[in-house]
Structures are given as C-alpha cells and as structure tokens.
Amino acid sequence: MEILLIEAVAGRRVAIAKHLARAGHRVTLSDSVCEAREVLQFIDDETEAPQAVVIGESLTSADGDRFREELKDRFPAALWVPLRADLGLDWLGSWLKGPAARSQDGADNVIPFPIERRGFRFERSPPFATRSLPQR
C-alpha cells in the first residue's frame, strides 16, 4: 500500500515508517501538512496517489482538516488515518490490513479515532496497542 505519513515528531515518524515498511508498505514521509501538500503537487495520476494518509494527532488542526478535504476531492479513495499518540504500531497495522472492507461502510473513507466526544470531555475506548511508540 502507498502511504503518506505526516508526523511532526522525528523519532515517532521514523518508528512508524520503519514499522510500515517492514509490513510491506511504501511510505512517503512528511513532517507537516505544508510539506505533504508540496509532495502531492507532483502526483499527476491516481496510480501514484497515496492509498492512505496517516497523520499525527497534533497535526489534525484546522489546516489538517482543510488538507483532508483537499485530499478527499483529489483522491477520493484515499483513507485518512488520524493517529493518536497513545495508539501503537499494532493498532495501525491492524487498521491498514483491511481498508477495503472499511471503505464499503460509507464512512467517507475516514478511520475515526476510537474516541467519542461528549461535551467537552473525551471518553476513550480501551487501548488497542500492545507496542508503544516514542513519546514526544
């Protein structure tokens, strides 16, 4: 799978990229949404487009939301994978193993956080990770 990885923390970015590459994925690295936009401007057809965009939680701000909309318009089949800091490599790997089944559910090709917003409090699902990533 072609994956665009956007993560601001260098150690975390490298750890995720190594894990994905070992699993057989082709990974393009970016440390910001701005840099990811620059990388994607050179993609002319969908065969070169990322099939998934894994983005660090800290980059899912307003600019990240705009980028997601741009990506959806340009590459509608691409999966958007927001990766919380407390989720590990095993969680990410399990999500990426079955994207075809998830894209059929009409969820707008978005893999939601396993988290629900209730007012201003967050209620988290049980942890999915068995391996942890480097923390910031």
DSSP codes of every residue in 81-135: EEE-TT--HHHHHHHHH-HHHHHTTTSTTB---SEEEETTEEEEPPP--SSPPPP
Whether 111 maps to a domain, the answer reads yes
The verdict on residue 27 lying in a domain is yes
Query: For the whole model, what pTM was predicted?
Result: 0.71
Residue 14 resides in a domain: yes
How far is C-alpha 97 from the geometric centre of its chain's CA atoms?
13
- Here the CATH number for the domain that contains residue 48 is 3.40.50.2300
Q: Is residue 74 part of a domain?
A: yes
Tens of pLDDT, residues 2-32: 999 999 999 999 999 999 999 999 999 999 9
Alpha-carbon 130 to chain mean position: 19
Higher pLDDT, 126 or 96: 96
Residue 107 has pLDDT above 50, yes or no: no
Q: Is residue 91 domain-resident?
A: yes
Structural domain contains residue 136: no
Count structural domains, the chain.
1
Domain containing residue 74 = 2-124
- Locate tokens 């894209």: which residue? 103
Asked if the structure places residue 135 within a domain, the reply is no
In a domain, 93, yes or no: yes
